[in-house]
Chains A and B, each alone.
Chain A
């Protein structure tokens, strides 16, 4: 294989890991409330700004800005679910329009977040965070790996492992899964369904925020950096939109495919790739690339 190809794959895995994290955030929201979170990208953006704020103004050490950002955004997400979505969903208008209303509410949240950031004065200056770790790049055969990229991949793996452990072994994680599979049955066995939905939103928001901090050294932090959510959507759809491992595989696949298109087709076509992926996968394999059969609709 040519070095260019290998380098492309390596780069694709790095960006794919971040897509996967944001996709996980979208899927956790979807599984808990049937809603596509159109504010997902803005939560990523807020994460980037919070990281910068903590680092430059509060003077926190680099490693602490992750829990700081995660905590603040957890509260934002949980509050949004508690205050807004519960109210919107509690209306007795028939099925579909409630869903539309909830999705529009997330669009409202995305405008609010973007609006707040634009009003804060220091956002006019475009910045990026210093790299998480720097040093001479590491050579693996013909491939050059930056410290920064390795740190991103390691952080993403750590977060994914933590999520997996949370959903598999902790009571709260199991309760979340039960609520997502069948809210009524979950309520019957004593799971506080509302608290679970808040937790899911908070968790998803925190994930998006942390991805924002991870991205901040690579991308410029701007109020519009939320457009990256489109790539996460595509990643989630490749994975079937309900499966967490599917998200991870989808994200990495998308990252690699994007780089391959960049190498072999044209750099302009890169931005079209996620949309084509979304349409083709939804029309031909709506259950995702990795699922064997269509997933049963939850009751």
Chain B
């Protein structure tokens, strides 16, 4: 499917935005918090999927760019008084720029080595978040002031919800355009075979580096979204555990497919909540169950839930 994405799909996004304005009127605060959280993770996962599912680059650095986005947005506002509406794009650009800097050398590496190098980068970034006390507040964390969007004070779950939804809709639309563009096809070609891609005139290194940068921009935007509804951040938010969670979301949902990624985020994001509310006694088993789900999904649903659904519908 190439060319502009079909209008039918884009109009679904309008529905999403409408829901973003309507739901805070009816849902209790806790659900709105979950919604904000899941939507932030959805943007993060979309970015990682562009890199992993489309360009085929197995990288672990994503969570570091998320951290850069959160700290940059929060600090631009707190220290320099730059409002969210400018601060978030600036933070996203910063994340993207660092992504490009990392991506240019890193994409020379083959799969497993790329994974290791980016893993090390993510851990080093977390060390910086932990140690650069003067800027990030170190392990004690950083208070995030309530952001201001066109004169409206956000910072609580109901007030942030519509804005978070709008950003998610924009990022989904951007992913739709990206994946159906020439650039999207170039990424797929590289994923399927670098040699064939190079032979057909695709700039392999450039495309990989840009995929890296764009994916980092997504993470930076997600970082901005995080500051809309959270009033506090500390380096634990950017631990290795989170990148594993993200990877599992897109792989369980379905690599390289937009609906799959959203399904994965919803499912694995809600799993701990479901266990907490309906299976209290099983809560201690959470980590174990999580591992079992990952393994079973890899064994029996090679293309994720969405691939499973598609195969089933096709028959």
Q: Is the interface of A mostly helix, strand, loop or mixed?
A: helix
Interface assignment of A286: CB less than 8 Å from any CB of chain B: yes
A105-B284 in contact given A36-B112, A279-B121 (Cβ < 8 Å): no
Checking B120, B287, B293 against A114 with a beta-carbon cut-off of 8 angstroms, the contacting residue is B287
Across the interface, name the chain B residue whose C-beta is closest to A278: B120
Interface string of B107-125 (1 = CB under 8 A from A): 0110111011101110110
With A91-B302, A101-B298 as known contacts, state yes or no: A115 contacts B248, CB within 8 Å: no
Q: Does B174 contact A (CB under 8 A)?
A: no
Q: In this assembly, does A203 line the interface, its C-beta being within 8 Å of a C-beta of chain B? A: no
Contact B287 A101 (CB under 8 A): no
A94 at the interface (CB under 8 A from B): yes
Interface residue ranges of B176-194 to A (CB < 8 Å): 191-192
CA–CA, A113 and B123, complex, Å: 22
Judging by beta carbons under 8 Å apart, are A115 and B111 in contact? no
Residue of B at shortest CB range from A114? B287
Closest to A223 in B: B287
Q: Mark B152-190, 1 if CB is under 8 A from A, else 0.
A: 000000000000000000000000000000000000000
Contact B124 A34 (CB under 8 A): no
Q: Choose among A35, A104, A111, A282 the residue that contacts B251 (Cβ–Cβ < 8 A).
A: A104
Q: Indicate if B292 sits at the interface (CB-CB under 8 A).
A: yes
The closest CB in chain A to the CB of B102 belongs to A279
- Interface code B282-308, partner A: CB below 8 Å = 1, 0 otherwise? 001111111111110011001100000
CB < 8 Å neighbour of B284 from A100, A109, A111, A119: A119
A103 neighbours in B (Cβ, 8 Å)? 58, 115
Instruction: Indicate if B2 sits at the interface (CB-CB under 8 A).
Output: no
Query: Once the chains bind, are A275 and B127 in contact (CB under 8 Å)?
Result: yes
Does A126 count as interface, using CB distance less than 8 angstroms? no
A contact residues around B52 at 8 Å (CB):
100
B244: CB under 8 A from chain A?
yes
Secondary structure class of chain B's binding surface, majority of residues: helix
Within 8 A of B (CB), among A259-282: 268, 271-272, 274-276, 278-279, 282
Contacts A87-B299, A88-B299, A97-B255 given; does A111 touch B112 at CB 8 Å: no
Q: With A88-B298, A272-B127, A275-B123 given, is the CB distance from A282 to B291 under 8 Å?
A: no
- Please tell me if A60 contacts chain B, counting CB pairs below 8 Å: no
For residue A247, give the distance in angstroms from its CB to the closest CB of chain B.
14
Contact for B298 among A105, A268, A272, CB less than 8 A: A105
CB-defined interface of A164-196 with B at 8 Å, one 1/0 digit per residue?
A: 000000000000000000000000000000000
| Given A114-B287, A119-B285, A279-B124, CB of A109 within 8 Å of CB of B295 | yes
Is the beta-carbon distance between B295 and A36 smaller than 8 angstroms? no
Q: How far apart are the CA atoms of A105 and B294 in the complex, in Å?
A: 6
Q: Could you tell me the distance in whole angstroms from the C-beta of B247 to the nearest C-beta in chain A? A: 6
- Tell yes or no: B223 within 8 A of A by CB: no
Query: Which residues of B139-158 have CB atoms within 8 Å of chain A's CB atoms?
Result: none
| Docked-complex contact B290 and A275, CB < 8 angstroms | no
Contact A104 B290, beta carbon cutoff 8 Å: no
Q: Is B109 within 8 A of A108, CB to CB? A: no
Partner of A111, one of B111, B113, B287, B299: B287
B105 at the interface (CB under 8 A from A): yes
Name 15 extra pairs, CB < 8 A, besides A271-B127, A276-B120: A87-B299, A104-B247, A104-B248, A105-B294, A105-B299, A109-B291, A112-B287, A115-B290, A115-B291, A116-B288, A119-B288, A274-B120, A282-B116, A283-B109, A286-B109
8 tightest A-B CB contacts, nearest first:
A115-B288, A111-B291, A108-B294, A112-B291, A115-B287, A278-B120, A108-B295, A275-B124
Residues of B within 8 A of A (CB): 52, 56, 58, 105-106, 108-109, 111-113, 115-117, 119-121, 123-124, 127, 131, 191-192, 244, 247-248, 251, 255, 284-295, 298-299, 302-303
Q: Enumerate chain A interface residues (CB-CB to B < 8 A).
A: 30, 34-36, 84, 87-88, 91, 93-94, 96-97, 99-105, 107-116, 118-119, 230, 233-234, 237, 241, 268, 271-272, 274-276, 278-279, 282-283, 286
